[in-house]
Each structure stands twice: as structure tokens, then as C-alpha cells.
Chain A
Amino acid sequence: MSPDPVLAAECEVFTRFLVGSAPPEALVRHYQAAHRVLDLNPATPRDLALLRAARRGPGWTRLSDSVARIFAPRSALRRKLILILSLVEVTGSFRSSYRPGGRSVGVALVSLMGTGVAAALSLFAGLLLVGLPVALRGRGDRR
């Protein structure tokens, strides 16, 4: 089976979004193979628009995913990202991404607060830069 360049590029962007580095070859191969058996295709124009926005780069993926988690939790984008996460967590070289070393309660609390603020900002920016255009395009499509 020949590799699909769109899926390969998508896999690279999404893996960089999740763990900050490029996927190993095996992860890309499984990502493509999973598309042949799981239902991961966009079901609606809004799904497709979210996916296209997310493909632009890891930063855009974060903004798009923030919006998708709240407003389209079963969208193709979410499903593809969850697939990537499942592949990341069975890849030994990404161990530090999903299995932390020990930290103090204080450091963990500060980290959690930072994550919360970043997630909130990402959602706000995502609504402006991704959610609004996708919603407007959806209205235009309906007309």
C-alpha cells in the first residue's frame, strides 16, 4: 500500500502538536493503516473545515482542537488526534510525553495552573481564528 502524502503530512503536524517532535516512521505507518479500518473521515462541511484549519500547523491544530473539544467532540479532527495520542502512548521513545517523572506537589500545581491558563487562551483564540470562520462558512454553505 503506497503512503498517502496528505495523511503523512497530517500525522506529522498532529504529532508535533501533541508531543513537540516528528513521528517515527512506524507511527506514520500505523496512522495510515488505521484510516483504512476506523471511521475517521469528516462527516460534515464543518468537520472538514476544522480539519483543514488544523492541518496548517501545530499551532493551528491546538486552536482547532480547543474549539472541537467543546463544540465538535466527535468530529473527524478529534478522532484523528485521539488516534495519534493512542499511537504516541504505545511508542516507547515518547515515554516522557505520557509518563511523568516525579515532581513536588507545588511544582505540579503551578504546572496545572499554567496549563489551565494556556488552554483557556487557546480556546479564546481558537474561537476567534477558527471557530468563527468555520461557523460563518457553515452559514454561507446553508444559504
Chain B
Amino acid sequence: MTPSITVVGSGPSGVHFAQTALERGFHVSLVDVGHQGEAPPLPGVGFEGLKERLEDPAQYFLGHSYDGVVLPTATREYYGLPPSKNYVFEAPPGFELSTDGFEPLTSFARGGLAEAWTGGCYPFNDAELDAFPFGFAELGRYYDEIACRIGVSGEADDLSRFMPVHAHLLPPLELDPHSARLLRAYQRRRDTINRRHRAWMGRTRVAALTVAHEGREPCGYLGRCLWGCPGNSLYVPSHTLRTLQRDPRFEYRPGFEVLRFRFGASGMIEALAVRPVGGGEEREFPVERLALAAGALNTAGIVLRSMAHASGSAPVLHGLMDNRQVLVPFLSLGMLGAAPPEASYQYHLVGMGLDGPRPAEYVHCQVTTLKDAMIHPIAQSLPVDLRSALAIVRATRGGLGVVNVNFHDTRRSGNTVSLENGPGGPRLRVRYAPPEDEPARIAAGLARVRKVLRALGCIVPPGMQHIRPMGASVHYAGVLPMQSSGGGLTTDPSGRSRDFPNLFLADGVTFPFLPAKNLTFTLMANAARIADAIPLAPSD
């Protein structure tokens, strides 16, 4: 009899867990809400070309309800996501979160939040895996496997001291003139920057193809990464989902919101309770083994609702983590007056690493130069009338960029996920408070970033750096940690729940530490690792 497993969620963890499970001979059923976007229009046409070739460019760029127009408001965090990505953040009817100190984004899309990611792939090193119940020696081969599946471009350079080089690394993407200038400036002043500022620079590693790979095209430098890559060069998990759907042992069940699971006296899970998104009665899917990969918050919510449904109360989960991000805009003086490139990769191509007091406290920076993008959000932030602002943006556009500075996070007991009664029933309550030393850590990190930028010939406009709210990085982790030994509300090193023997937690909910790096590549590698260790016999 073919062993079977049910997976919840089609994000990066879910699809790579499913792929490894299929490769091991399991029958895999993937339950998902599964919102989808539209296919990108006019493949082969660049960002600027769309404005001339589309029948109604305003509708594409600004949306049917003009929600792509960024108006000055006091409260809303600006993500710069275009209307074509609205589906990624669309929640099922009735879904609500209650938050305190945390502004989370959640996704119910095919592919999850990574449908709107910027593709950064950074393996954790041994120092960053120190709190995990395994090291790089165990995870390394799964990074290799994921790189082979999704295609990661980059090169071994000065940043390799912070991130191990894995196999199957594709040649790096072409640099735009501004990014190339920054790297040349770094090479000229490398010794000073390394020694005085303890900073290193190099190419970011990105899940974008430079050679054709499994039906996906190499990057066409169309400047449309954010809007939806028409050649599928930039990897998103829905690519893997489409591959999985060709396997007869894979069953995709979209249109269902997972509410909870039902378990017996021994804790063995017997069924999954779901609600059709389009309306209708709650129903159950029988389950032999269950893997939750719905994203740390949704996975935690499913576990809590299941426990509450069975016993009438649910525990409080501790240790929520997220990366604090700070955006530091800069202007390269040598690029003043330069025209933005006609053809470019839109996201970051250059990275910067600052070593920390301890290796795991490394500060990770992605340097994105302004290429094809909407400029009205920038122009309105300048302290002059809009006509003058437009003239300033025209003169400086080729030299504008932003450093996204990421800080690590640790599990702390005050940062919790729990259930509370809301108007529509039990809802997730998320509470977060930053550590006391965070302001000093941020100030020290930013001071070093500014010094490095100055050494590269850039100016940092005063007062324009932006500390993003917690939740904005969308790197949530930590509330059901994996540990070598432990009690309830933890998993063993293979991601297997200590409360429910046939439950595997395959996403970031189990990470016991959150380095400054984007965690998505590690989510995928860890999910593959967990799927590789599932016992074939249910009783094992």
C-alpha cells in the first residue's frame, strides 16, 4: 500500500516538502486556499514598453480601483507591491488577526508569500544553525538540492565568508551600471572597508535564472520582476506546484481553508477539518500523516485551534521572531544625471555583510539600485513642490538606491501567538515587543552602513531612513521550535511534533533562531530535509 501524507499550504516549504515526499514514494495530497493571479501580459515586452503597448496601461499599473496610486497617509506601511500582486495577500472571508506591536502579512495564494519575494537565497552557516538541532553538514545537501530545483544565480566572492557556497550555483545576473559602479568602488576601497568598517560586499544570490531551466527562460532583463516575471525566470513556488501537478501520485485540493485537525486519544491525527472558501459546510479529509506548511502564523493557528477544539482551551505559544528591517536610501554622486538602464533585472544584485559581535549576529544588507519602478512614491517624499520633485528625481534617478538592512532575532517569551475570542469566533492574537538592546543595535548597524556608503562615493540623505514595523519583513518563525529534546509544543530534529506523532511541521514555525538573512531558501531546504526523514510506516 502506498504511504500517504497530506500537506497544508503551497508556499516554499509546502511545495518542496511535497516534492521530496513524492520522490520518496508517498502519495501526496496538498490542501490550499490557492488564490491565483493573472498571467503577465505581453511577454517579452519591457517595463517601459508596457506603457506604450498595453491597451490601458493605467489599469495595469495602477489597478482597477487605483490602489497602485500611493497617496500620502499617516499609517500605512509602503510595500510598493503592484496591483498584479494583490491576490497574494487576499484572505478568505472571515479571516482576521488581532495584533499588538506586529503588522503581519499573510497569504493564501498558490505559492504563498514567496509569490511576491525578491528571490534572495542565503544558506545559513554553522554559527547561525547553532541553536538548531543539526548543523550545516546535515542541511548542506538540501541547499544543493533546492538550488538544483529552483535555479540560483550568484558567485563565490567576499560575501561567501557569511554564506556557504552550495552546489548548482548558476552564473550571476548581469549587473546594471549603478550596481557595477558600487562594486568597482568597493574593490578600490576594499581593504579599508573590510578593516575599518568590518563590512564585505559581493553579489547577492538570487533565485533567478541565467540559463534556461525546466521550461523556464533565462532572465530577459525586462524590469518586471516585481510585477510578475513573464518568462518565469524569477522562481516562485507556484512553478514547483505546476510541476507537482503532473505527477499522478500528487493531488492538489485548492479552495479549502484549513481550520484545524482532529486527533484521537493517543494524539494521532485522524482528519483535517476544512471550510470551502466559496461557501458551504465544513467538512473533513481523512489523514494518515499531516505536514503543516501554511506559514508560521497560519500553522500555529491550525495547531492552536485543534487543541482548543479538543479540550476547550489552547496554550500560548512563545518565541515569535521576525527580522527587523531598516531601509536606507542613498545617492551615488558619480551616477548623477545618468539615464536608468533600458534593460535590467529589477531587484537587488549587490549585497553587503557586516560582522557582528558574535558570528550569528551578522547584519545582512541587500543593495537595490533604482531601475524600472514607479517614481511617484519617491517624488512625493521630497520637501518641494511636485514639479521640482520630478526634476530632482530626473536628475538623480540613475544614482538612487536603497539598502535594506536586516537584523537577526531571537526567541523571547513575551512574543506570543495565542487564540482569543473575536466577533467571528476564535482568532489568532499576535503580540511582539522588540528586545531592549534593539535601538542601540540598529543605531550601530546603520552607522556602519552609512560609513560604507560614504566610502563608496554615496551620500545618505538625512532623515530619510525608515525603520519598518515588525512583521514587514514577513520572516516569521519560532513558536513551535525544534529541539534535540523537549516536551510539548516542540518538535524533534526531524520536524515531528512531540504532541501529535503523525504531525510534521515543515515551515519556519520550528526555527529556534532567526539570522539576519532571508530565510526562504532555508525554509525550502529544511522542508526537503524533514520530508526526507518521514518514516514510511505510520506506526514508526
Q: Do A and B bind each other?
A: yes
Using CB atoms and an 8 Å cutoff, list the residues of chain A in contact with chain B: 17-19, 26-27, 30, 33-34, 37-39, 62, 65-66, 69-70, 73-74, 78-79, 81-83, 85-87, 89-92, 95, 97-105, 107-109, 111-112, 115-116, 118-119, 122-123, 126
Q: Which of B48, B69, B333, B336 contacts A82 (CB 8 A)?
A: B69
Top 5 closest A-B pairs, CB basis?
Answer: A108-B337, A103-B337, A92-B52, A119-B388, A119-B384
Contact with A along B351-381 (1 / 0, CB 8 A): 0000000000000000000000011100110
Q: Which residue of B lies closest to A114 (CB)?
A: B391
- Chain A residues positioned under 8 Å from B395 (CB to CB): 100, 103, 108, 111-112, 115
A78 to chain B, nearest CB (A): 6
Q: Which residue of B lies closest to A97 (CB)?
A: B390
B273 interface hit (Cβ, 8 Å): no
Interface residues of B in 50-78 (CB under 8 A from A): 51-52, 56-58, 60-62, 65-66, 68-74
- Chain B residues positioned under 8 Å from A37 (CB to CB): 65-66
B57 and A82 within 8 A (CB): no
Rounded to whole angstroms, the CA-CA distance of A134 and B129 in the bound complex is 62
Rounded to whole angstroms, the CA-CA distance of A85 and B392 in the bound complex is 14
Q: Which residue of A lies closest to B73 (CB)?
A: A74
Q: List 17 A-B contacts (CB under 8 A).
A: A34-B62, A78-B380, A79-B71, A82-B386, A86-B62, A86-B68, A92-B57, A97-B390, A98-B394, A100-B337, A102-B338, A103-B395, A108-B396, A112-B392, A115-B384, A118-B388, A119-B384
Using CB atoms and an 8 Å cutoff, list the residues of chain B in contact with chain A: 48, 51-52, 56-58, 60-62, 65-66, 68-74, 333-334, 336-340, 374-376, 379-380, 383-388, 390-398
- Chain B residues positioned under 8 Å from A118 (CB to CB): 388
- Chain A residues positioned under 8 Å from B386 (CB to CB): 17-18, 65, 69, 81-82, 85
A-B CB contacts (within 8 Å), total count = 146
B396 and A18 within 8 A (CB): no
Rounded to whole angstroms, the CA-CA distance of A115 and B397 in the bound complex is 15
Q: Which residue of B lies closest to A26 (CB)?
A: B58
A91 and B71 within 8 A (CB): no
Rounded to whole angstroms, the CA-CA distance of A17 and B389 in the bound complex is 12
Rounded to whole angstroms, the CA-CA distance of A62 and B338 in the bound complex is 27
Extra inter-chain contacts (16) besides given A30-B58, A86-B376, CB under 8 Å = A17-B387, A62-B385, A66-B385, A74-B74, A79-B71, A82-B69, A82-B380, A86-B374, A87-B58, A98-B375, A98-B390, A100-B339, A102-B338, A109-B336, A111-B391, A112-B392
A95 and B51 within 8 A (CB): yes
B308 to chain A, nearest CB (A): 40
- Chain B residues positioned under 8 Å from A69 (CB to CB): 383-386
B387 and A70 within 8 A (CB): no
Q: Which of B58, B334, B397 contacts A90 (CB 8 A)?
A: B58
Q: Which of B337, B390, B397 contacts A18 (CB 8 A)?
A: B390
A31 to chain B, nearest CB (A): 10
B331 to chain A, nearest CB (A): 11
Q: Which residue of A lies closest to B372 (CB)?
A: A99
- Chain A residues positioned under 8 Å from B385 (CB to CB): 62, 65-66, 69, 119, 122-123, 126
